[in-house]
A and B are shown apart, each in its own frame.
Chain A
């Protein structure tokens, strides 16, 4: 009975601190889970690529918000903004005439659903009379050792152009306002040629491995013009696996082997037992030997 009650007490005493430990462990786990989930962002950039449309103010709204998250003022033809990192979610892009009041009706608007880890270009394309806002899904994954290239044809004067990169033809005939699909090209520096009607433009363009480019064909001051936009870049060749950046000097060291200590305990107990047995047998034999050894008469009561 005593043992059982005792055992129960011991178990309760042991369980209580374990229960108390569970609370901070659970909250730490919850906190680290929240940390991981918080990082859901994508990228968005805005472009004015309609040659005969005057400059505009571009507004980016988180869907449903009355006030804009980003406003770009006086964006003229040929301008492509840098990417903005935004939380994933729904957005509205609106364009107003440059200098127009923010509450005035937008000339044109479009909605964008930004997914985490994805990038988008929202571009005003086409002639002014047929202006549209097109949402482009931007590629971020490059084949190892290669580059990705796409072309946006924003020249009104040359309604159809062809594009060659070195000796490779990238686009045979790309119409005004059209966006080509992405093409994989070998990395390196080459000559890009854009031809349309009687006009052409060339540019020496470095396309590094692991990069994504958008080439924009524009009506420049002197005819056809090529803008080479670096959309995204990563490692041309990614290392395999993780990094061996640790040698263990600050790692917790495992407890040393218990064997030497256990051996000491065992040996000590053996010695003590041996000695104790010896003493015990000597005490048992003492009365018989007392007659021979004692010098002083024993005063045992």
Chain B
């Protein structure tokens, strides 16, 4: 057998035979590599963010829940959500020329809609922030992970704190956004936190839904 093998090999070790063998070997390697590559790249690639860093609760004078809407409370300057590691200053947001909510100019800071009541006064205060940038997580990346009962702290320009407790977390399709539930009048001091969520539409480069967290001030 060995002798035959050697003879056969010697016979086929001519130039044409070598080419043919190379073709077969090379072809199989190429096909194998193609199959392996195809198999390994079939699942969606989900980016992973850095681990969550839970924060300590802020300290300072906690402003009591208002009994009457007499005096204007101070404007909000920063927001801390310890359970999801959010600590951000607050910019002011207005409306775009088409009447939509302006969004913060960077993805690392949140903004208070200045047309909404001030957090801690009677009414529905609204704060919005980006879930992500083009390359990584944004300030409200973990907003949808908030649990009922989680504490949200807003520090105001006079140094006092307004403390809120999460009552609900909802996701709404943007083309069916519940404007009244989010921006409508309420008789107690409440807060809404808004970011994007759901499916990302690559053709329009935007998320199809918004995550909205509802919270009520606690004394």
Residue contact B27 to A271, C-beta cutoff 8 Å: yes
A36 nearest CB neighbor, chain B only: B170
CA distance A234 to B168 in the complex (A): 18
CA distance A35 to B170 in the complex (A): 9
Residue contact B194 to A233, C-beta cutoff 8 Å: no
Query: How far is the CB of A230 from the nearest CB of chain B, in Å?
Result: 3
Contact indicator per residue, chain B 20-35, by CB within 8 Å of chain A (1) or not (0) = 1111111111111111
Known: A232-B123, A246-B200, A248-B205. A269 touches B129 (CB 8 A): no
A261 nearest CB neighbor, chain B only: B38
A-B contacts, 15 of them at CB < 8 A, read A83-B188, A230-B70, A232-B123, A234-B185, A240-B100, A242-B175, A242-B210, A246-B138, A247-B107, A248-B202, A249-B136, A253-B44, A264-B30, A267-B30, A279-B17
Known: A240-B99, A264-B37. A247 touches B117 (CB 8 A): no
Contact-size category for B = 35 or more
Residue contact A85 to B216, C-beta cutoff 8 Å: yes
- Chain B residues with CB under 8 Å of chain A are 3-4, 7, 11-12, 14, 16-17, 19-35, 37-38, 41-47, 49, 65-70, 95, 98-101, 103-104, 107, 113, 115-117, 121-124, 126, 128-138, 140-141, 167-170, 172, 174-175, 177, 179-180, 182-188, 194-197, 199-200, 202, 205-207, 209-210, 214, 216
The number of residues on chain A lying at the interface, defined by a beta carbon within 8 Å of a beta carbon of chain B, is 76
A272 partner, pick from B19, B31, B197, beta carbons under 8 A = B31
Residue contact A237 to B134, C-beta cutoff 8 Å: no
With an 8 A cutoff between CB atoms, is A91 at the interface? no
Q: Which of A251-278 contact B (CB under 8 A)?
A: 251-256, 258, 260-276, 278
